[in-house]
Amino acid sequence: MTVAAPARHPLLERLSSQHGFPELDVASFDDFAAAPGHALVFFSDDPLRQRETLDLAVILPELHRGFGGAFRAAWLAPDAARALYPRFGFRRWPAFVMLHGGAYVGVIDGIRDWDEYVRETERLLASAPSEPPAIVLPAKRDAATRRGAPRG
């Protein structure tokens, strides 16, 4: 017996079917990113887990239209986004990652006011590529602290 893949939210599906933004996977990401010019990639999350995913699915086409196609746009389904996100060091989900010719330019993570998306997109389009921030993992507590022993 085969199990059908879970249906995706219609707002995510519309990104490709209505707006023509390709859905990338781990295998296709680098080729899309490496093309000349700017690219804004939407790192989605499961809308049941992170409701803001649906907000960004609506915002991406509006940003693309508002900037007159100054960047190519694409999106990653949650599994692909989770696999690729360590390369870019953002801290909040969902997120838009701006690339230029495959190089990291910056990120707009989490939910924001519309004006902030516009300002940040303008800033990223004017910025040079840079190294993405490192992901900082919380330090593990030592065994004594985990057991509740007083710190010395």
Q: What is the pLDDT of residues 62-82, one digit of tens each?
A: 999 999 989 999 999 999 999
> Which residue, 88, 89, 95, 98, is CA-closest to 129?
98
Phi and psi at residue 70, to the nearest 5°: -65, -10
Domain assignment of residue 144, yes or no: no
Task: Give the residue-averaged pLDDT of 102-123.
Answer: 95
Domain assignment of residue 60, yes or no: yes
Range of the domain at 71: 23-127
Burial of 103 (0-12, 13-18, 19+ CB in 10 A): middle
Which segments of the chain are extended strands (E)?
23-24, 38-43, 72-76, 95-100, 103-109
Give me Rg for the CA atoms of the chain. Answer: 18
Total of domains in the chain: 1
Q: Which of 46-50, 54-58, 88-92 has the highest mean pLDDT?
A: 54-58
Residues in the chain, total = 152
pTM of the model: 0.83
Domain assignment of residue 5, yes or no: no
